[in-house]
Structure 1
Amino acid sequence: MSKKTYSIFGAGASGLYTAWRLLDGKSKDKNNKKAIVKGDVIELYDWGQYDFSKKYSGTRAPGARVCTWHYQDDKDNSYLELGGMRYSYWDGSPMGAGHRVVTETIERLDLEKFSVPFNESADPLMSLRAKNMYISDVNSNQPAPYNAANYGADSPPDDGFTTIQAVAITQDSGPTTRREWCKFYEEGKINIETPETSIFKKGDKLKEIGYWNLGYDRLGQEGFSYLSDGNGYSSNVVNSNSAQSFNVNDEFTPGTEYKTLVKGFSSLFDALFDKVVELAAKNEVTFDYHPNTRLRSILDTKKGIHFTTATRKAPDKLFESKTCDAAFLAMPRSAIELVAQATRYSDKEGLDVLNHEKVQLYLESVMMEPSYKVGMFFDQPWWRDTPEGGPKYPAKLTSYFLTQEGIGKLKSQKFPAKYLAAIEKAEKPFVIIGTSYNDKASFIDAVERQTEERLTLKEQNQLLAVAELDTIGPSITDMPIRQVVYFGDNARNKKGKKIYGILASYDDIQYTTFWKPLELGPNAKRKIPESRDTQPLEGPRAATPVMIKMLRQQLAALHFGPQADYSAVPEPLETKYMDWSLPPFNAGYHAYKSHYNLGDVQRKIRKPSQLIPGKDSDIFIVGETYSNDQAWVEGAFCTAESVLNDFFGIAPIIDETHYPFICPE
């Protein structure tokens, strides 16, 4: 048997996962001719050069749109996430929520011991239209500063999501499983009678309606502005496919259990790369890593998949011409479009898969959403209440959240069984398990109401210890910083001086352009065209003094009040940013457009020759862009897993009975 060469283009989440599963996965069939065996070759091409290890060093932490940044670039120091930050934990149960493939991968790589909670505050601080308040402050006596219809400003901003979704689903009805959501994407429709003044009517399919259009129709301009400003993510309210947006916005509801890794989220990809190197050597498979090399063009020819590469120094010029047996494009839409452009003008004979009209139609099924993150390190947690004092509006970073796992711990501690039974039997609207409480008093009160007994001091302390969560915020504002996430002192080395980190600006869509002129500051000319500025590959870039002052001014308004001076916020020790709107990603995340069958896009675009009548080409697209979990590492892993299961005979990494990796037929 002649040796096979599988070429993977992109060393981010989906690229590394593909390499790992090709080497580690078990075949469904003993005679699987597509399985990687002794003597075969796996090539991994990387436009950048990630810092995987001492042997494979680079310019930034690995993970593509995940990028952990340590203070002074020392991995023993405190860190921030300037890209993807976390995953939704899955408890392993057949019907449990969460990111199953990421959770399983972390367990298989023996990283579970480094997994820690990364949860959101139950009572975040908001500063909207120069009014500072906590979510718990918003009521009919203290409405948010919006003239929203139907008393919308008397409730938290996220209630707007519920109002929009009520056209088709309620708390007690609608899709809950992954399969049900996939069906909803295609069949979901407005099922309530709407007034004559409404634009959209009963029976209208949600996949044909833009989410911004529907939100404006349901909430009006002021109500929609409150939702847009107050939820923190502009990307959650863009004009994406409404059916899918219902599910996306459900992910950010209170009660979702998030986790990250104590070494930083990029450490997941260090571990994946190390495992690929280890397994390749063990299985006697050649692993060729090509950093600073991008895919330039690709065709399917009689001799195999023909591709050309270019170097990072000369990204448009032909570097090498090669062939492989299968090609995995582990890259987002923008990078794929660059490959399609060069392929379009190739003189070589062969099938140009990427430029076929139906393939182009499906490639354009997603919108690209720019994102921008700025991190700052300080020598004090000035945003918190401390014995020495604190800001007028401190971040509330402690809440109480009891899980089923917590119930198990309390049982082992001999907590009264009758109390635990009462807690577990609590029904809506008095459910305790999975409900976030802002403070000790409200949490204890809820438990005592359910048990109809006063808890002893010992019982209170047991309960509080199990349920206490140190959260990350965020604080939310309509100022250009948009969201602030509090990482604090998370250094692995606890002996040195404490350093406290915050994600000082976490913004997207239109707000990203606010920061671009500040990257250079006064008396400076732009020397590199944005189309050639590959800063996301190089790593976090130091902020200018003028950008730092602008950040301090907005942080001061958020935490000390709208009239506060920038000097209320101390000078940071270090400030860096990542602009994800730049090449080669040109987006922080993606969202499906309306007027597409999302399931068909997911199934067909991963092997785009399926869209060309009579053609069968082993060119594959993997990554989060066309996944069922856009903007998450889970999406990248799931598309890769589905390709390997369906086209390479590899058995699924987990049971997919209740969790299809992509939407099934």
Structure 2
Amino acid sequence: MSLIRHVPELAIKSKALLPNGEDFDVLIAGAGMAGLYTAWRLQNDGLQSPQLKKLADARPDKRLKIGIVEFSDRVGGRLDSVIIDGMDNVPAELGGMRFTESHQLLNLVIRDLDLEGDIGPFDMTANSQFTLRGERLDEAAIRNGEPVPYNLEDAEKKKTPNELFNYAITKVVGPDALSYTDANWQWVKENFRYSDASGVYDNAALYNVGFWNLLYQVLSNEGYDYCWDGGGYNSNTINWNAAEAMPYMLTDFSVTPKYLCFKDGFHTLPATLAQRITQGPAPVPIYGGTRLVRFDRDAGGRLTGEVAATADASLRGRFSTSYLVLAMPRHSLELLDQDTPFFNAAPVQWNIQSVLLQPAYKLFMAYEKRWWDPELFYRGPTITDMPLRMTYDFGTEAEHGGAPGDQRALLLASYCDMQGASFWSVLERGKVHALPPSWSMTAAKGGAPAPESMCRMAEGMLKKSFKVDGKEPEPSERVGAYYQDWTQAPYGAGFHAWAAHYKASDVMRSVRQPLPDWPVFICGEAYSNQQGWVEGALCTAESVLEDKFGVPRIAGLPDLYPLLTPPPVKPGDDEPFKTYLLRDTPNAF
């Protein structure tokens, strides 16, 4: 098996624990995109905040003292890349791999960091291939009336799985839903009421309805199974908040997004941010391999807390800080000591539990050359009801600027979530657990080489998925394989979804500071209006900076650009600032 190389730019250089008694103005827990962005903005513009300038003025150097503690030994959170078999031009994107032109804050950060030259298109097929219930299908054939192996009702036929999702949603909200803007959808979320003929729902707000419950009311059972199998993401059909699910799903067909990526890997973004904040006249230290254990308030109301080495809990340190920013998702928050006044408060738990954890798994396999039809299975996603779920062709070294004739190809062999993640996780090891599974550091260390049993299982499914005219192709020589299970600590999930019975727009605002008298703030993708996207992480962090610290909005971002949710506009009414759908694909992964 070939060499797997982690991207060195993500490694945190400082591994020292916080010294006992270290005193900060702002301490940030988490070196993912929300945490890095917060530190970068505070480093550049923090003194424009009256309350922060007062703290800086009290220090001899007149500068804010900012620090970051990070559970793992690298920055980036759920942005990570590895190089398989020396294929430097085709990095394996273990986490986020794409974004769109509509993500204004992310694109602004890219510009400010002088990274525009690193951006290229993220190509996807215009005619996805499917293997469902053992039969090969494609989108064009389905639309032309090719029978699918599901006993669909007449109104459900001649629709791809995503189009059937859209059909179900328009049956509830109306046919004009396909053209709604974000502001229109915000009005629907707040004002639309749903009733059904069976009497299960009577004038119910959509945020009090589960999406699975809703689909069951408007689709046949076979129609639901078709959406589940052919949608690629199992998480799309779970019982999450219907008010949030519907605009999220409709964006696949209501806009034609242009997908973008970092040509050298998405890790370029957090690596560049980390370099900027740890260097310069007011460097921000990042303490890697250091986890926040607990925090409380002293008699004067100042925050005090404890950290520990991730690899050795006996190594401890203490700190104090005026402000604490928890830039982390739900599971990471729940890894902190919950038996404290802060976490024992009902508003804190109410906010934290407002999102559902969505497991995600990626298995990359590299080959000496393509052994699948590159035109028929162009880029991806190729979708199947087998545990592979989705497959993407990342291309060859030669196609991405490597040596001419270098035909080594990288395949995202399995991109799956929910149940699919549990299928592959059992194949990660061939022996009994020596330690509690929850203590595994595999995810925090950036994944691991895929064992032979996992690779053979995947190749058996890939042969079926890449079958043409009834013939299964034979794999070429495999030169490497690597996986990442985002379900493991400290992440707990690849992405998140709003739970039913929560009004998400209210939570997005309250979760930022769950207890008004505690200077503790929460931000990140999990509690955003763009879950699964880097843009969501950045927008929640920017919102905390503006509304809680009084830092002016980052230069170049329109004043009316919604960081959380836009003001609601009833469909059909004039919209002075024409909003657009911000979530253009299921998620950045």
Letter in structure 1 aligned against 2:209: I
The yes-or-no answer on 1:617 pairing with 2:518 is yes
Is 1:379 matched up with 2:347?
no
The answer to whether the 8 Å contact 2:128/2:139 transfers is yes
1:534 deviates by: 2.1
> How much has 1:36 moved relative to structure 2?
6.1
State the distance in 2 between where 1:29 and 1:568 align: 62
How far 1:376 sits from its partner (Å)? 0.7
Whether the aligned pair in 1 keeps the contact of 2:105 and 2:557 (CA below 8 Å) is: no
Counterpart of 1:85 (choices 77, 84, 97) is 97
Pair 1:299–1:132, CA change in 2 (3 A): same
* CA offset digits 1:119-148 (Å, max 9, x no partner): 321101100000001111114742211112
**Aligned residue number for residue 348 of structure 1:** none
| 1:482 has 2:389 as partner | yes
Instruction: Spell out, residue by residue over 1:496-553, the C-alpha distance to the aligned partner (whole angstroms, 9 max, x if none).
Output: 83421111000001111111221124xx222232210121111131111111111111
Query: Could you say what secondary structure the match of 1:69 adopts?
Result: strand
Change (3 A) 1:367 1:534: same
Please say if 1:258 is aligned against 2:297. no
Number of aligned residue pairs: give it: 536
Q: Which runs of 5+ in 2 are unaligned?
A: 1-22, 568-589
Aligned to 2:288: 291
Q: Judging changes above 3 Å, is the alpha-carbon distance between structure 1 residues 299 and 45 closer, same or farther for their aligned structure 2 residues?
A: same
Q: Deviations over 1:547-584 (max 9, x none)?
A: 1111111000011259766x712232101100111111
What is the SS of the residue equivalent to 1:609? coil
Aligned pair 1:212/2:226, yes or no? no
Question: In 2, distance between residues paired with 1:629 and 1:130?
Answer: 35
Partner of 1:313 in structure 2?
A: 311
Give the TM-score of the pair, scaled to structure 2.
Answer: 0.85
What does residue 71 of structure 1 align with? 84
1:641 to 527, 542, 549: 542
After superposition, residues 324-403 of structure 1 pair within 5 angstroms as 324-341=321-338, 343-344=339-340, 352-385=341-374, 394-395=376-377, 397=378
Matches of 1:115 and 1:170 in 2, distance apart? 38
State how 1:51-450 maps to structure 2 within 5 Å.
Answer: 62-72=75-85, 74=86, 76-89=88-101, 98-139=102-143, 141-170=145-174, 172-173=176-177, 176-190=180-194, 194=196, 196-197=197-198, 199-200=200-201, 203-253=203-253, 255-278=256-279, 281-282=280-281, 285-301=282-298, 302=300, 304-315=302-313, 317=314, 319-341=316-338, 343-344=339-340, 352-385=341-374, 394-395=376-377, 397=378
Q: How far apart are the structure 1 equivalents of 2:519 and 2:311?
A: 29
Shifted more, 322-331 versus 24-33: the winner is 24-33
Distance 1:225 1:11 in 2: 39
Alignment match, 1:661: 563
CA distance in structure 2 between the partners assigned to 1:272 and 1:29 by the alignment: 21
2:82 is matched by which residue type in structure 1?
W
Could you say what secondary structure the match of 1:555 adopts?
A: helix
1:437-475 CA deviation, whole Å, 9 max, x = no partner?
xxxxxxxxxxxxxxxxxxxxxxxxxxxxxxxxxxx3110
3-state SS of 1:367 partner: strand
Structure-2 separation of matches of 1:479 and 1:498: 28
Tell me the distance in 2 between the aligned counterparts of 1:136 and 1:34: 63
Shift of 1:332: 0.8
RMSD of equivalent CA atoms: 2.4
Find the counterpart in structure 2 of residue 440 from structure 1.
none
What amino acid sits opposite 1:374 in the alignment? L
CA separation of 1:276 and 1:532: change in aligned 2, threshold 3 A = same
SS, match of residue 287 in structure 1: coil
Contact 1:375/1:502, CA 8 A, preserved across alignment: yes
Answer whether contact 1:101 1:634 (CA < 8 A) is retained: yes
How many Å separate the matches in 1 of 2:122 and 2:229?
Answer: 23
- Aligned partner letter, 1:33: K
SS for the counterpart of 1:568 is coil
Q: Does the CA-based 8 Å contact 2:166-2:249 persist in structure 1?
A: no
Aligned partner (choices 464, 480, 493) of residue 574 of structure 1: 480
Aligned twin of 1:5: 25
SS for the counterpart of 1:255 is coil
Amino acid at match of 2:324: A
Cα separation, partners in 2 of 1:649 and 1:568, compared to 1, 3 Å: same
CA distance in 2, matches of 1:309, 1:658: 39
Moved more, 490-499 or 219-228: 490-499
After the TM superposition, which residues 596-635 of structure 1 pair with which residues of structure 2 at under 5 Å, given as runs? Answer: 596-610=502-516, 616-635=517-536
* 3-state SS in 2 of match to 1:239: coil
Q: Distance in 1 between matches of 2:437 and 2:189?
A: 36
Where does residue 579 of structure 2 map in the other structure?
none
Kept in 1, the 8 Å contact 2:39–2:277? The answer is yes
| Cα shift at 1:664 | 6.4
Q: Return closer, same or farther for 1:496/1:136 CA change in 2, 3 Å cut-off.
A: closer
Shift of 1:241: 0.5
Q: Contact 1:228–1:237 (CA<8 Å) still a contact in 2?
A: yes
Alignment partner, residue 473 of structure 1 = 380
Q: How far apart, CA to CA, are the structure 2 residues paired with 1:260 and 1:34?
A: 40
Cα–Cα, structure 1 residues 32 and 335, in superposed 2: closer, same or farther, change >3 Å?
closer
* 1:173-205: CA deviation from partner (whole Å, max 9, x where unpaired): 577444443343332333xx75x347445x321
**What is the rounded CA distance, in whole Å, between the counterparts of 1:512 and 1:650 in structure 2?**
40
Preserved CA contact (<8 Å) 2:392 2:411 = yes
Q: Secondary structure at the match of 2:39?
A: helix
Q: Bigger radius of gyration, 1 or 2?
A: 1
Alignment of 1:474-623 (within 5 A): 474-489=381-396, 491-494=400-403, 497-521=406-430, 524-560=431-467, 568-610=474-516, 616-623=517-524
Q: Deviation string for 1:567-603 (max 9, x for gaps)? A: 7122321011001111111111110011112111110
CA contact (8 A) 1:76 1:492 kept: no
Q: Could you tell me how far apart the structure 1 residues matched to 2:87 and 2:548 are?
A: 39
Conserved? CA contact 1:68–1:80, under 8 Å: yes
Quote the Cα distance in structure 2 between the aligned partners of 1:179 and 1:36.
40
State the AA in 2 paired with 1:661: L
In structure 2, relative to structure 1, the CA distance for the partners of 1:18 and 1:198 (3 Å cut) is same
Q: Which residue of 1 aligns with 2:40?
A: 20
Judge conservation of contact 1:147–1:222 (CA < 8 Å) in 2: yes
Which residue of 2 is the match for residue 347 of structure 1? none
Q: Percent identity?
A: 31
Is the alpha carbon distance of 1:34 and 1:68 closer, same or farther for their aligned partners in structure 2, counting shifts above 3 Å? farther
Decide whether aligned partners of structure 1 residues 75 and 377 sit closer, same or farther in structure 2, where only a CA change above 3 A counts: closer
Contact 2:293 2:308 in 1 (8 A): yes
Secondary structure class of the residue paired with 1:298: strand
| Cα contact 2:360–2:416 (8 A) shared by 1 | yes
Partners of 1:377 and 1:356 lie apart in 2 by 49
Other structure's SS at 1:236 match: helix
Q: Secondary structure at the match of 1:15?
A: helix
Q: Which amino acid aligns with 2:261?
A: T
Q: 1:608 to 1:29 in 2, by over 3 A?
A: closer
Q: Structure 1 286/66 Cα, relative in aligned 2: closer, same or farther at 3 Å? A: closer
Give the secondary structure class of the aligned counterpart of 2:176: coil
Q: Secondary structure at the residue paired with 2:53? A: coil
Does the 8 A contact of 1:65 with 1:83 survive in 2?
yes
More off after superposition, 148-157 vs 39-48: 148-157
Q: Aligned residue for 2:17?
A: none
Gaps of 5+ in 1: 51-61, 90-97, 345-351, 387-393, 398-471, 611-615
Q: Distance in 2 between matches of 1:287 and 1:474?
A: 40
